[in-house]
Chains A and B, each alone.
Chain A
Amino acid sequence: MTTSQSVITILVVVLGTMLTRFLPFIIFPEGKTPPKFITYLGGVLPYAVIGLLVIYCLKGAVFTSYHGLPELIAIVCIIILHKWKKNMLLSLAGGTIIYMVLVQTIFC
């Protein structure tokens, strides 16, 4: 990607992000209530999008020679670590280090 393409991509992301933040205040000026379907999507979409993002992160790994095995091991470790200690920073650091060790030693 050239520099100008990078700049355009970043601008597009900024624009998209700001659109999601400002839109409700533009559509529903003081006093107007949003329709039910929008409120419903508001309740369910955040959960689904995180699932989507997990898969997005794994999109490269699934089609490699290990079919995402090191990723799977690290993810299981993160879930166990997170359920056990309930410490976000520990889970992030622990999971990333486990993965880095895996791909640099066993699955290299």
Chain B
Amino acid sequence: MKLKAFKTALPYTLPICIGFLFIGMSYGFLMKSKGFPLIYPVVMSCFIFAGSMEFVTVNLLMTAFNPLHAFILTLMVNARHLFYGISMLDKFKNVGLKKLYLIYGMCDESFSINCTVEPPADIDRGWFMFFVTLLNQIYWVSGATLGALLGYLIHFNTKGIDFVMTALFVVMFTDQWERTADHRPAIIGLGCSLICLLVLGGNNFMIPAMGLILLCFVLTKNRGARKETIK
């Protein structure tokens, strides 16, 4: 039963394998180039297991110690998980203890497969989702480890390599932009953050920016609701 579920899950994860190895490797390599020992990317990719946040954590580790800021930033960056969770409430029912691991390992990619793929009737759904999640995590941790190891072997001028994080978010932003017709949320996110950065400077803008974004959403939601009632 487990083997069959594994064989069904594997092909769905292969495209993610390529992406995770590549991005994981750039993450591991980046950490090594910033002077962190191998154990850091390995532990962080294992236990944080949320790609964007791991890149952001590299920055956090290189600035002044501020756990409260780190905590709020994590909640904000990973807030989407709340909504993944809400979408998966039903699907994770009756899968036993595996549920704990499914929730723990619910990264964007595992969520997108588990949420959309309907395994054939003779496949155990719980084990299918378990292997999707496990395989993806193995790819990611392997990528990060390989990247860091590569950092010990290859030496070149790495100045500017941290831009891989910017590139990742720009690509995600472009993808999201093309996937939806309503660009207001994207513009609110970009605009509020930029205004706060220019007014408050690089060290203090994140939390006010998050507050401003939430405020904008609260205000535009009311407007949207009022429009509906007028109709």
In the assembled complex, which residues on chain A have CB atoms less than 8 Å from the CB atom of B73?
Answer: 16
In the assembled complex, which residues on chain A have CB atoms less than 8 Å from the CB atom of B206?
Answer: 52, 56
A51-79 CB mask vs B (1 if < 8 Å, else 0) is 11111111110110000000100110011
In the assembled complex, which residues on chain A have CB atoms less than 8 Å from the CB atom of B82?
Answer: 20, 23-24, 38, 42
- Distance in angstroms between the alpha carbons of A39 and B89 in the assembled complex: 13
In the assembled complex, which residues on chain B have CB atoms less than 8 Å from the CB atom of A23?
Answer: 82, 85
- Distance in angstroms between the alpha carbons of A14 and B57 in the assembled complex: 10
**A74:B163 contact, CB within 8 angstroms:** yes
Task: Given A20-B81, A54-B190, answer yes or no on A47-B185 (Cβ-Cβ < 8 Å).
Answer: yes
In the assembled complex, which residues on chain A have CB atoms less than 8 Å from the CB atom of B165?
Answer: 57
- Distance in angstroms between the alpha carbons of A28 and B85 in the assembled complex: 10
Interface hub of A5, A40, A74, A78 (most chain B Cβ within 10 A): A78
With both beta carbons as reference points, the residue of chain B lying nearest to A28 in the complex is identified as B89
Which size class do B's interface residues fall under? 35 or more
The smallest C-beta distance from A26 to any residue of chain B, in angstroms, reads: 9
Which size class do A's interface residues fall under? 35 or more
In the assembled complex, which residues on chain A have CB atoms less than 8 Å from the CB atom of B22?
Answer: 89, 92-93
**A54:B188 contact, CB within 8 angstroms:** no
Task: Given A52-B76, A52-B209, A75-B166, answer yes or no on A100-B161 (Cβ-Cβ < 8 Å).
Answer: yes
- Distance in angstroms between the alpha carbons of A44 and B198 in the assembled complex: 24
With both beta carbons as reference points, the residue of chain B lying nearest to A78 in the complex is identified as B170
Identify whether the interface residues of B are mostly helix, strand, loop, or mixed: helix
The smallest C-beta distance from B35 to any residue of chain A, in angstroms, reads: 12
In the assembled complex, which residues on chain B have CB atoms less than 8 Å from the CB atom of A78?
Answer: 167, 170-171, 174
Contacting residue for A48 out of B70, B99, B189, CB 8 A: B189
- Distance in angstroms between the alpha carbons of A99 and B80 in the assembled complex: 29
In the assembled complex, which residues on chain B have CB atoms less than 8 Å from the CB atom of A56?
Answer: 56, 59, 193, 206
- Distance in angstroms between the alpha carbons of A96 and B213 in the assembled complex: 29
Of all A-B residue pairs in the complex, the 3 with the closest CB atoms, nearest first, are A48-B189, A51-B189, A16-B74
Residues of B at the A interface (CB closer than 8 Å) are 18-19, 22-23, 26, 40, 43-44, 47-50, 52-53, 56-57, 59-65, 67, 70-71, 73-86, 89, 92-93, 99, 103-104, 106, 157-161, 163-176, 178, 180, 184-194, 197-198, 201-202, 205-206, 209-210, 213, 217, 221
Task: Give me 23 A-to-B residue pairs in the complex whose CB atoms sit less than 8 angstroms apart, sorted by A's number.
Answer: A8-B67, A13-B60, A17-B53, A23-B82, A24-B83, A25-B92, A25-B103, A39-B83, A41-B217, A47-B180, A48-B185, A49-B79, A51-B186, A52-B189, A52-B206, A57-B165, A58-B197, A62-B197, A78-B170, A92-B23, A92-B167, A96-B164, A104-B160
Given A49-B79, A54-B173, 15 additional A-B pairs, CB 8 A: A16-B78, A20-B79, A21-B78, A22-B85, A22-B104, A25-B85, A25-B99, A28-B89, A46-B185, A51-B173, A51-B193, A55-B193, A59-B197, A62-B197, A78-B167
